[in-house]
Amino acid sequence: MVQIKDLLPAEAASAGAPFNGPHMDNSADWTSGYVVEVDYTHGYYRELSPVLIDFTLLVAGFEPPARGSGRYLELGMGQGLSANIHAAAVEGECVGVDFNPSHAANAMQLAQASGSGARFFDDSFAQFAGRDMGEFDYITLHGVWSWVSEENRDVLVDIIRHKVKVGGAVYISYNSLPGWASAMPLRHLLTLHGKLGRAGADGIVSSIDHAIEFGRKVAEVGARYYAATPGAKDRLDAIADQNRRYLAHEYFNLDWLPMYFSEINQRLSSAKLHFTASANLLDHVPGINTTAEQSALLAGVAHPVLRETVRDYILNQQFRKDLFTRGARRLADLDRQERLNDALVALTTPAADIAFDITAGLGALTLKQDIYGPLIESLSARDYAPKRLGDLAEDPSLKRIGGASLLEAVTVLVGAGHAHPAQPGAAVEKATPACARLNEHLVRRARVSEDVGFLASPVIGGGLQVSRFEQLFLLSRLGGADKPEQWAQFAWDVLQRQNQVLIKDGKPLAAPQDNLDELTRQATALEQRRLPLLRALRVA
Ligand SMILES: C[S@@+](CC[C@H](N)C(=O)[O-])C[C@H]1O[C@@H](n2cnc3c(N)ncnc32)[C@H](O)[C@@H]1O
Distance 288 CA to ligand 1 centre (A): 33
Say what the pLDDT of residue 25 is: 37
**What's the order of all strands across the beta sheet hosting 344-347?**
387-388, 344-347, 419-422
Task: Work out the burial of residue 1: count CB atoms within 10 Å of its CB; fewer than 13 is exposed, 13-18 middle, 19 or more buried.
Answer: exposed
> What confidence category does residue 206 fall into, taking pLDDT thresholds of 50, 70 and 90?
confident
Say what the pLDDT of residue 474 is: 98
Residue, of 33 and 116, whose pLDDT is higher: 116
Distance in angstroms (rounded) separating the CA atoms of residues 487 and 495? 12
Asked if residues 36 and 28 have their Cβ atoms less than 8 Å apart, the reply is yes
Of 274, 331, 270, residue with least CA distance to 304: 274
Distance in angstroms (rounded) separating the CA atoms of residues 140 and 74? 5
The predicted-structure confidence for 398-435, as pLDDT tens digits, reads as follows 999 988 999 999 999 999 999 999 999 999 999 999 99
Residue in 23, 34, 155 to alter for ligand 1 test, most ligand atoms within 8 A of Cβ: 34
> What confidence category does residue 510 fall into, taking pLDDT thresholds of 50, 70 and 90?
confident
> What confidence category does residue 448 fall into, taking pLDDT thresholds of 50, 70 and 90?
very high
Say what the pLDDT of residue 133 is: 94
3-state SS, one letter per residue, for 399-436: HHHCHHHHHHHHHHHHHCCCEEEECCHHHHHHHHHHHH
Handedness of CA 406, 412, 414, 418 (dihedral sign): negative
Say what the pLDDT of residue 506 is: 84
Amino acid identity for residue 140 in this structure: T
In degrees, rounded to 5, the angle at the alpha carbon of residue 93 between the alpha carbons of residues 324 and 452 is 85
Average pLDDT, the chain: 91
Q: Give the DSSP per-residue string, 11-42.
A: HHHTTTSSB-GGG--TT-TTSTT---SBPPP-
Range scoring the smallest mean pLDDT among 17-31, 189-203, 472-486, 523-537: 17-31
What is the tally of helices (H) and strands (E) in the chain?
23, 17
DSSP 8-state code for residue 61: T
Parallel, antiparallel or unpaired: strands 71-75 and 93-97: parallel
Distance 35 CA to ligand 1 centre (A): 9
Say what the pLDDT of residue 37 is: 65
The predicted-structure confidence for 212-254, as pLDDT tens digits, reads as follows 999 999 999 999 999 999 889 999 999 999 988 888 877 887 7
In degrees, rounded to 5, the angle at the alpha carbon of residue 188 between the alpha carbons of residues 182 and 192 is 165
Distance 270 CA to ligand 1 centre (A): 23
Say what the pLDDT of residue 252 is: 81
Distance in angstroms (rounded) separating the CA atoms of residues 457 and 538? 6
Q: Give the DSSP per-residue string, 117-170.
A: --EEE---HHHHHTS----EEEEEESS-GGGS-HHHHHHHHHHHHHHEEEEEEE
Distance in angstroms (rounded) separating the CA atoms of residues 281 and 317? 15
DSSP 8-state code for residue 176: B
Distance 282 CA to ligand 1 centre (A): 26
Q: Residue 364: phi, psi to the nearest 5?
A: -75, 130
Distance 143 CA to ligand 1 centre (A): 7
> What confidence category does residue 331 fall into, taking pLDDT thresholds of 50, 70 and 90?
very high
Diameter of the chain measured on Cα atoms: 69
pLDDT at 35 over 80: no
3-state secondary structure of 221: coil
Say what the pLDDT of residue 21 is: 28
| Cis amide leading into 424 (omega within 30) | no
**CA atoms within 13 Å, Cβ hemisphere of 149:** 12
Which residues share a beta bridge with 503? 3, 508
Residue in 82, 100, 146, 159 to alter for ligand 1 test, most ligand atoms within 8 A of Cβ: 100
Go through 478-506 and write b for each residue having 16 or more CB atoms within 10 A of its CB, e for each that does not: eeebeebebbbbbbbebbeeeebbbeeee
DSSP 8-state code for residue 64: P
The residues lining ligand 1, judged by C-beta closer than 6 Å to any ligand atom, are: 32, 34, 40, 43, 45, 76-78, 97-100, 103, 124-125, 142-144, 147-148, 152, 249
If you average pLDDT over residues 143-153, what whole number do you get?
95
Asked if residues 192 and 299 have their Cβ atoms less than 8 Å apart, the reply is no
Range scoring the smallest mean pLDDT among 35-44, 76-85, 382-391: 35-44
> What confidence category does residue 34 fall into, taking pLDDT thresholds of 50, 70 and 90?
low
Residue of minimum CA distance from atom 5 in ligand 1 = 78
Range scoring the smallest mean pLDDT among 163-177, 182-196, 443-457: 182-196
The number of the ligand 1 atom at minimal distance from the alpha carbon of 103 is: 27
pLDDT at 158 over 70: yes
The number of the ligand 1 atom at minimal distance from the alpha carbon of 76 is: 12
Parallel, antiparallel or unpaired: strands 136-141 and 71-75: parallel
Residue of minimum CA distance from atom 1 in ligand 1 = 143
Say what the pLDDT of residue 388 is: 98
pLDDT at 6 over 80: no
3-state secondary structure of 271: coil
Residue of minimum CA distance from atom 7 in ligand 1 = 78
Asked if residues 36 and 252 have their Cβ atoms less than 8 Å apart, the reply is no
Say what the pLDDT of residue 200 is: 66
The predicted-structure confidence for 315-330, as pLDDT tens digits, reads as follows 999 999 999 999 989 9
The predicted-structure confidence for 268-290, as pLDDT tens digits, reads as follows 999 999 999 999 999 999 889 99
Asked if residues 72 and 52 have their Cβ atoms less than 8 Å apart, the reply is no
